[in-house]
Amino acid sequence: MAELQSEPPAFANAEEKAAYWEGEAKRFEEMTLEVQLELQEFRECSEEIEKELEAQLEQHEKQTKDLRQQNTTLTFEYESLKERYEKQQTERFRQVSDLQTEISKLTVTNGELTKDVRELEQRNDDLERTNRVIIVSLDDFEQRLNQALERNAFLESELDEKDSLSVTVQRLRDEARDLHHELSVRQRKVSESGKHDERSPLPSPQDKVPTPTTGVPTTPLATITTSHAPPSPTNPDPHKIHQKHVLHNGVDKTPLPPSARISALNIVGDLLRKFGALESKLASCRNFVHEQPPWQSKRVNQIAPKSSETPHEGSTTDSSKNSSVKIRV
């Protein structure tokens, strides 16, 4: 803001004087506007500051009120804690006196227990000597128990072999039944063919050769159906009795000779005898297990996992025996 001049300058004429005062009037008018703007800004700033101060004053009054409430609460808590502390202090003094009395009693008891400990040490020495004797007898018993476990493992392997042989025997029984059935069918066919040979002559080979057709070629399926078709009871063909059976995969299967059938039946008989021997061994094993005392059976059940490898060896022997039986069949 420009400063006011103390005295106006000298003017040469009235026009200069009018122009001077006109400029001064404009200048003072601008100064007045600036002062009014500054006054307005000052009022706005003062109002904002007043509002902020009022808000801060309310906040401080609220905080003061809360602090007074906290002060009264803490004072009350202090008084209550002080009373509790005094009560606990008196209780601790009483407990200390009781503990001192108990310590004196425990000192007397400790002396008596020391004497008892000495007596127990002497008894412990006696028990250790007895324990060594028991350990020696226990080692002897464990040796006998291991022998019994080995025997049980051997019997379990034989039991597994018996199961595998029972499966093989059942299979061979089924095969023997099929062979007996096939043999009876073939004998019946042979008898029927013999009767037919006595009644009618054999057909000529030209009658059995089919006439080839140009449209439909002959397939293996037609051969399979003709070979598996049952012979007519009225017109049996002796040539078809000696014909080979054709499988579905195209491989010819010739009927077993009588010597092979007899050897198969002999194998079945041997397996049945082995099966009976294994059943007798299994019955004796069961009787041996039932005759054992209960404490020994519990001991066997606890140590049985140690000999878990033995049945696997028995299973391998069973598989080898089964494979040998299959090769013989």
Q: Indicate whether 107 pLDDT > 90.
A: yes
| Structural domain span for residue 301 | 107-196+258-329
Confidence tier at 213 by pLDDT (50, 70, 90): very low
CB 268 within 8 A of CB 172: yes
Q: Indicate whether 123 pLDDT > 50.
A: yes
pLDDT for the residue numbered 53: 92
Split into its structural domains, the chain has a count of 1
Percent of the chain predicted with pLDDT > 90 = 31
Burial class (CB in 10 A: 0-12, 13-18, 19+), 318: buried
Q: Indicate whether 142 pLDDT > 60.
A: yes
Please indicate, yes or no, if residue 219 is contained in any of the structural domains: no
**Residue recorded with tokens 């054999």:** 202
Please indicate, yes or no, if residue 235 is contained in any of the structural domains: no
User: Mean pLDDT for the chain?
Assistant: 73
Average pLDDT over residues 237-255: 41
pLDDT for the residue numbered 258: 64
CB 236 within 8 A of CB 192: yes
For residue 149, what are its two tokens? 């476990």
> Per residue in 284-326, pLDDT tens?
777 766 665 554 444 445 444 444 444 444 443 444 444 333 3
Query: Residues 6 or more apart from 281 whose CB is under 8 A from it?
Result: 155, 158
DSSP state of 252: E
> Per residue in 60-103, pLDDT tens?
999 999 999 999 999 999 999 999 999 999 999 999 999 999 99
Q: Tell me which amino acid residue 222 is.
A: A
Please indicate, yes or no, if residue 17 is contained in any of the structural domains: no
User: From CA 161, how far away is CA 208, in angstroms rounded?
Assistant: 54
Q: Indicate whether 117 pLDDT > 90.
A: yes
Query: What kind and span of H or E run contains 102?
Result: helix 14-199
User: From CA 92, how far away is CA 82, in angstroms rounded?
Assistant: 15
Q: Phi-psi region for residue 17, left (φ > 0), alpha (ψ -120 to 50) or beta? A: alpha
Query: How many Cβ atoms are within 10 Å of 157's Cβ, its own excluded?
Result: 19
